[in-house]
């Protein structure tokens, strides 16, 4: 799932994506080693992982890029581990 957000004070536009590591990692160009090790730790403990990435966009890029293009070139910045009790 992705959201495009704009800071009204600075005009900065970001796309923020969240999803399983299997869908976010291939779209990422910058991986924080700590986040990567957290994903592995969570998976080894049996947790479902949810990862988050972002990308800066220019205002004029939003209307010309496809969804796949917008959701590529992400910087991975966080990961969570969720216990699935079902």
Q: What is the pLDDT of residues 36-81, one digit of tens each?
A: 888 889 989 989 999 999 999 887 777 788 888 889 999 999 899 9
pLDDT digits (tens, 9 = 90+) for 30-48: 777 888 888 889 989 989 9
Per-residue tokens: 71 = 């959701």
Order across the sheet with 28-30: list the strands. 2-6, 13-19, 48-57, 74-82, 28-30
Residues 6+ apart with CB under 8 A from 41: 81
The domain containing residue 52 runs over which residues? 2-82
pLDDT at 31: 77
8-state DSSP, 9: T
Report how many domains make up the chain: 1
What is the DSSP code string of 20-86?
A: -HHHHGGGEEE--HHHHHHHHHHHHTTPEEEEEEEEEE-GGGTTTS-HHHHTSSEEEEEEEEE----
């Amino acid at each position: 799932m992705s959201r495009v957000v704009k800071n009204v004070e600075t005009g900065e536009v970001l796309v923020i994506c969240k999803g399983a590591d299997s869908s976010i990692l291939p779209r990422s160009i910058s991986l924080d080693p700590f986040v990567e090790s957290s994903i592995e730790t969570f998976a080894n403990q049996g947790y479902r992982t949810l990862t988050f990435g972002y990308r800066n966009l220019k205002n004029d890029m939003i209307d010309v890029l496809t969804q796949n293009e917008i959701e590529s070139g992400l910087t991975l910045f966080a990961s969570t581990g969720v216990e699935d009790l079902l």
